[in-house]
């Protein structure tokens, strides 16, 4: 299941940061794309429908909510690490 959640996060990240043609189309859609929790929910049901052969509506919704929580927590963790990472000093050779 962890791999499925990582796939959902990859889809969430791709939708938010790589599908720029979806931006500035509609105010509601733009707000949805900036929210990692919301986009994580939609990437969750997309991932579930791609990977699972026997669809169950309740399991799909449960996985979508689990995906939204995972995407939000993982994205927050990555942003926290990026903000606290120090600059990398590169020494030039003589």
pLDDT tens track for 32-51? 777 888 889 989 999 999 98
Domain residue ranges in the chain: 2-77
Residue-wise pLDDT for 1-31, tens only, equals 888 888 898 888 888 877 776 667 777 777 7
> What span, in angstroms and rounded, lies between the C-alpha atoms of 71 and 76?
8
Q: Model pTM greater than 0.85?
A: no
First CA to last CA distance, the chain: 51
Q: What is the pLDDT of residues 60-85, one digit of tens each?
A: 999 999 999 999 999 889 888 888 77
């Amino acid at each position: 299941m962890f791999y499925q959640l990582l796939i959902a996060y990859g889809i969430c990240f791709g939708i938010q940061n790589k599908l720029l043609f979806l931006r500035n189309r509609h105010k509601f859609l733009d707000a949805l794309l900036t929210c990692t929790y919301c986009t994580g929910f939609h990437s969750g049901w997309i991932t579930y429908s791609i990977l699972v052969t026997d669809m169950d509506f309740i399991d799909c919704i449960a996985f979508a909510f689990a995906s939204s929580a995972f995407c939000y927590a993982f994205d927050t963790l990555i942003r926290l690490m990026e903000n606290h990472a120090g600059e990398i000093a590169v020494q030039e050779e003589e």
